[in-house]
């Protein structure tokens, strides 16, 4: 990793949450020839509260570089629409006004899919939890608000419920004043999928996009091997819980280890729309799914479920698998989860 990328990675750690903007230091890129006909180009920079990188293989270095640049442009365009921290975004306008007319197709798509996951996950996925997150949001000085009182929590819970989000044509509105949405649990996955579509449009078919654990892989890496992805260790002991091979598949991980709002580490960025509190049964959930948006939304949903119920739920979904690590470090896998540690070199999810 060159110095620009190293600095960018450190800066990305300063981001607060979700899609919050971090300063743009440009795309740090590197290119190598992997054989006589193929170049591997890697580019990355801080974005969406994390570090986003793309590795792409193509016969033309210029084609790969152009594709990566266009993918990051698409990312920037979508972040401006979906970022609740951007005062000029469509989501911010909706949260402030309670109604958004002539919504961009991308905004409507993400909210419509959010309501879909809310339904199939029996309410475990809920974009209307913003009033709860606001209780823990840091003030401008960096101090946390502390644990909310019962009355504050009850008042915020009254404003939570995706059933009170209305979509009529291109108009999106809230039934209750004071409601708000956060797309932090789904937008990043959606944006990764759109970035992948841009790469494909540029005839780049072998690539891996990694947006802070929301990962989409297509084709193969050098030497025609599948892409290898390690599941992040919640304990940060340096020992990865598992490794998977991906080819034309996606994985996303949600964990309580990512962002805490209090020194005691009791309240984190994943909250239950039922209780208003942060679940403490799991520390990490990884989901394999056909799209990154699905993996992102399902990882968020499964995290707030009971572990024994969550595995059965994931197994009921087509082409989805899960690895759940509970607070005691015990691992639960769906029956179709395939660890790369037990596969031959070229076997992978596809």
Residue 85 located in a structural domain = no
162 and 150 in a single domain? The answer is yes
Tell which wins on pLDDT, 185 or 277: 185
Same domain, 94 and 169: yes
CA distances from 59 to 66, 223, 290, 323 (A): 13, 14, 27, 36
Percentage of the chain surpassing pLDDT 70? 80
C-alpha dihedral sign at 147, 153, 157, 160? negative
Domain stop point among 138, 153, 174:
174
Q: Which of 18-27, 38-47, 48-57, 300-309 has the lowest mean pLDDT?
A: 18-27
Show the domain range for 69.
1-77+184-223
Burial environment of residue 93 by CB neighbours within 10 A (0 to 12, 13 to 18, 19 or more): middle
Does 231 lie in the same domain as 341?
yes
> Sheet harboring 214-218: ordered strands across?
28-33, 39-47, 50-58, 206-211, 214-218, 249-255, 282-289, 321-326, 331-333
For residue 83, tell me if it sits in a domain.
no
* Total number of domains in the chain: 3
Residue 136's Cβ-side half-sphere holds a number of Cα atoms within 13 Å equal to 23
Residue 147 maps to a domain: yes
User: Are both 244 and 317 inside the same structural domain?
Assistant: yes
Residues 217 and 233 in one domain: no
Check which CATH number belongs to the domain holding 142 and give it.
1.10.3980.10
Burial label, 237 (beta-carbon count in 10 A; 0-12, 13-18, 19+) = exposed
Based on the domain organization, do 67 and 196 belong to the same domain?
A: yes
Range name among 1-15, 136-150, 167-181, 317-331 with the lowest pLDDT average: 1-15
- Least confident residue range of 8-22, 87-101, 324-338: 8-22
Indicate whether 191 and 170 sit together in one domain.
no
The answer as to whether 179 is a domain residue is no
Q: Transcribe 273-326 into DSSP letters.
A: TTTSS---SEEEEEEEESSHHHHHHHHHHHHTS-HHHHHHHHHTSTT-EEEEEE
Q: Write out the two tokens for 145.
A: 């608000």
- Say whether both 72 and 196 belong to one domain: yes
* Residue 82: inside a domain: no
Extract the tokens encoding 199.
């790469």
Q: Is residue 196 part of a domain?
A: yes
Same domain, 229 and 350: yes
Whether residue 56 lies inside any domain: the answer is: yes
How much is the average pLDDT of 150-173? 95
Looking at the fold, whether 5 and 37 belong to one and the same domain comes out as: yes
pLDDT for position 18:
40
Indicate if 278 and 154 belong to the same structural domain. no
- Inter-residue long-range contacts of 223-231, CB under 8 Å, 24+ positions, other chains counted: 223/34, 224/346, 225/345, 225/346, 226/346, 226/347, 226/348, 227/348, 228/340, 231/284, 231/286, 231/323
Ranked by mean pLDDT, the top range of 26-40, 259-273, 279-293 is 279-293
Q: What sign does the CA torsion over 230, 232, 235, 236 have?
A: positive
Q: Report helix, strand or coil for 253.
A: strand
Read off the CATH number of the domain in which 307 is found.
3.10.520.10
**Domain membership flag for residue 6:** yes
pLDDT in the model for residue 328: 86
More confident residue, 271 or 142: 271
Least confident range of 50-64, 78-92, 260-274: 260-274
Report which of 42, 45, 46 is spatially closest to residue 14, judged by C-alpha positions: 46
294 and 346 part of one domain: yes
Closest by CA to 254, choosing from 204, 213, 221, is 213
Q: Which of 301, 276, 18, 267 is nearest to 159 (CA)?
A: 276
Of 223, 254, 287, the position where a domain reaches its end is 223
pLDDT of residue 72: 98
Give percent of the chain above pLDDT 90.
Answer: 63
CB 218 within 8 A of CB 322: no
């Amino acid at each position: 990793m060159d110095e620009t990328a190293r600095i960018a990675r450190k800066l990305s750690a300063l981001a607060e949450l979700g899609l919050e903007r971090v300063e743009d230091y440009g795309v740090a890129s590197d290119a190598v020839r992997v054989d006589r006909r193929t170049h591997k180009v890697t580019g990355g920079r801080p974005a969406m509260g994390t570090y986003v990188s793309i590795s792409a293989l193509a016969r033309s270095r210029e084609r790969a570089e152009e594709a990566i640049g266009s993918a990051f442009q698409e990312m920037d365009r979508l972040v401006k629409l979906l970022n609740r921290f951007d005062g000029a975004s469509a989501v911010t306008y909706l949260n402030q006004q309670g109604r958004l007319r002539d919504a961009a197709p991308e905004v409507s798509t993400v909210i419509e899919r959010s309501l879909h996951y809310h339904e199939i996950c029996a309410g475990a996925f809920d974009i209307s939890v913003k009033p709860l997150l606001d209780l823990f949001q840091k003030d401008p000085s960096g101090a946390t608000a502390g644990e909310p009182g019962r009355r504050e929590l009850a008042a915020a819970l009254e404003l939570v419920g995706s059933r009170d989000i209305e979509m009529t044509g291109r108009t999106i509105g809230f039934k209750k004043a004071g409601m708000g949405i956060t797309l932090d649990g789904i937008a990043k996955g959606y944006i990764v999928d759109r970035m992948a579509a841009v790469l494909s449009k540029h005839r780049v078919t072998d690539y891996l996009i990694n947006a802070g654990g929301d990962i989409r892989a297509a084709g193969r890496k050098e030497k025609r091997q599948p892409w290898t992805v390690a599941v992040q260790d919640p304990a940060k002991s340096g020992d990865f819980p598992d490794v998977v091979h991906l080819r034309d598949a996606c994985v996303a991980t949600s964990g309580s280890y990512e962002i805490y709002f209090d020194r005691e580490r009791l309240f984190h960025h994943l909250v239950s729309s039922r209780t208003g509190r942060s679940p403490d049964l799991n520390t990490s959930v990884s989901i394999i799914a056909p799209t990154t948006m699905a993996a992102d939304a399902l990882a968020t949903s499964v995290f707030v479920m009971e572990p024994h119920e969550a595995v059965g739920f994931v197994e009921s979904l087509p082409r989805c698998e899960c690895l759940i690590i509970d607070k005691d470090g015990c691992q639960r896998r769906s029956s179709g989860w395939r660890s790369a540690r037990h596969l031959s070199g070229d076997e992978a999810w596809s």
